[in-house]
Amino acid sequence: MNKALYGAAIAVALAVGVGVYVSTGSSPAPASTFVLLDGSKKTTEDLKGKVTLVNFWATSCVTCVGEMPKVIATYDKYQAKGYDTLAVAMSYDPPSYVINYAETRKLPFKVAIDNTGAVAKAWGDVQLTPTTYVVNKKGEIVKRYVGEPDFDELHRLIEKLLAEA
């Protein structure tokens, strides 16, 4: 392997490791059905009309657990203005762990469990957690973060999207 290619491979690995922000352009959010902890269901169509953060996470993911207070604070800051959050637990996360985490931390937003992995697959074959998508009011993905987002930048984006008609 030549040095340039080797260097590029290392740079990509480091970028993923530190959670670099990745832009995906604007594309429709994939049609999905989210099964919530209370057994009810929410679909991608239900996201329309609000700016929504869709966060793929796991209770075993140190970064996920570490960023959760910031995800909660972001929800609390913007939810009255038309913002929502949907936390999607990965298929390998035991449901009892997810329920315990959501209840003990009093998560104020909806939590889904992706039992089959179909939702993660539909949303770009999510493998790394946390992976977070920002969906605009039209139901389009406008940003994707792998790793913990830069929350100051995320807040600016949310404010911009909330201001759009």
pLDDT of residue 165: 77
- Residue pLDDT, tens place only, 92-116: 999 999 999 999 999 999 999 999 9
Longest distance between any two alpha carbons in the chain, whole Å: 53
Helix, strand, coil shares of the chain, percent, nearest 5, are: 40, 25, 35
Q: Are strands 140-146 and 131-135 parallel, antiparallel or unpaired?
A: antiparallel
As a whole-number percent, the residues of the chain with pLDDT over 70 amount to 85
Q: For residue 26, what pLDDT band results from cuts at 50, 70 and 90? A: confident
Strand, helix or coil for residue 152? helix
Given a cut of 90, whether residue 78 has pLDDT beyond it is: yes
Region 40-69 average pLDDT: 97
pLDDT at 11 over 80: no
Query: pLDDT grade, residue 123 (50/70/90)?
Result: very high
> Which pair of structure tokens corresponds to residue 23?
């832009």
Q: Are 150 and 123 in contact (CB under 8 A)?
A: no
Where do runs of H (alpha helix) occur along the chain?
3-18, 62-78, 95-104, 118-122, 151-163
Domains of the chain: 21-163 (3.40.30.10)
Share of the chain above pLDDT 90, in %: 84
- pLDDT for residue 7: 38
Arithmetic mean of pLDDT, 36-62 = 97
